[in-house]
Amino acid sequence: MRRTAFVVAVPEVHIVLRVSPAALMRGLEDKLRGSQPDTQKLHKMAVQMCTGLLLHQAHFKFRRSAFTSSEPKVTLLAPPFIGSHSTDNVVLDFSVNSITPLYHSAVLQECGRIEARAKALIMMVKRWAKYRGLCITSKGHMSPYAWSVLTVHFLQVGLEEGPLLPPMQGTVTAQGCTLRSGSDDFKFGACSKNVSQLFRGFVHFYSKVSWSDKIIKDPFEPKKNVCAGVSAEAIVHLCAELVRADDVMSRGTSLAELLEPWAPPDETCSTSSTSRNGTDSSDNSGDQATDDVSGWRSTELRNASERKPLRLKPRTIPCRTTTNLLQSTSSLRPGGGVPTSKLCVVA
C-alpha cells in the first residue's frame, strides 16, 4: 500500500470472478443476440457488465481497461471500507475467469513452503520491477507473474552453490492451481546467501542473458513463454535497469535508492513526488485518465477522489504494436554457459 503512482499502475490486489461458461452465456443472452463469441470476447463482455454495476451501484472508480489481452480486465479504485479509519482507496484488478492470478498465487505459496528466502526474493524482484517501471504489460513489459517465474528459474540454475529450488510442475483442477516439485530425490545446494545477496546475483545472472531469442517456460503451461510479447523498447529499458541496479548495489547505497520510482526521461515531474492514494499532487485538474504509450502522464496520477463522474461503459484502450522478441523455442541460457539439460527447469 505504499502511496505512489505505481500502486495504481500495477495493483497488488486481484479480484477474479469465477463463473461457469453456461452461466455466462445465460447472463449475457440479451447482449449475445444468438451469436457464439469466443471465450475472450465472452469474458470481456462479462467484465464490462460487472464493471458497470461496480461503478454505478457500488461507487467504484474506473482507472483503465485491458480488453485486448488474452485475459480481459479492468483496474478499479474501490471505496474505503465501511467502518475503516483509513480514507485511502484500494486499487485492484478485476477480471472474469482469469487463470494467471491463480498461477501466481500457487508459485508464491509453494516457493515459500520450500524456502522462505525464495518467496522473499520473489517479492523483492516484483517490487523492484514495479517501482522501476518494468512490469507494465500495456507498455510492452513482462508481467509481475513473469518476473516471479524468472526469479524461480534463477534460484534453480543461477547459483554457483547449487539450487535453492527444485524443478516444479503446475497442475490445474476444479479445486484450484497447485505447484509441486517434479523430483523427490532432488539435491539442494548449500547456498547461505541472504535475500539482498540473492537479489544481486539475480541482477548479475540476467544482465548476461541475450533476451532476443530465449524463453522461460510457464510451469503451468510448458508451451507458453512467460516473456512473450515484450517490446524492443522494454528490452532496452530492462537492460538499462539491470545495469543501474548492479551499480547501486556495488556502491553499497540504500534500498531506497535502488527502489526509487522510475519516470520517463521526458517527464517534468517525478513519480516519487506523490500524494495520498498513490497519486501525483501536481495535477488534479483533468477529468479522464490517460494511458499514453510514451510513459506516465501527470493526468494519470491525479487524485481519484477529485474526479468528475465517469462514463457508464469503460473505454477500450488500443494497444500499440510491439515487436515480439522472445518467441524462439530455445532454452534461456546465461552468458556463462549453463548446460542445456539444466535450463528452463521451472517447467
Whole-angstrom Cα distance, residue 26 to residue 237? 45
* Residue 332, CB-side half-sphere exposure with 13 Å CA sphere: 30
Task: Decide the pairing of beta strands 90-96 and 73-78.
Answer: antiparallel
Q: Are 139 and 237 in contact (CB under 8 A)?
A: no
Give the pLDDT of residue 266: 66
CB 31 within 8 A of CB 48: no
Q: Report mean pLDDT in 10-residue bins for the chain, 347 residues.
A: 60 91 87 81 93 92 88 89 71 93 92 94 94 88 93 94 91 82 78 94 91 82 86 92 93 88 65 37 33 33 40 41 35 37 38
Please state, in angstroms and rounded to a whole number, the distance separating the CA atoms of residues 345 and 181: 11
- Global pTM reads 0.71
What is the CA 15 to chain-centroid distance, rounded? 14
Cα Rg of the chain (Å, integer): 21
Instruction: Write phi, then psi, for 54 (nearest 5 degrees).
Output: -65, -35
String of b and e for 31-49 (b: at least 16 CB within 10 Å)? ebeeeeeeeeebbbbbbbb
pLDDT of res. 158: 92
The CATH class for the domain spanning 101-258+325-342 reads: mainly alpha
pLDDT score, position 129: 94
* Sequence ranges of the domains in the chain: 19-96+262-306, 101-258+325-342
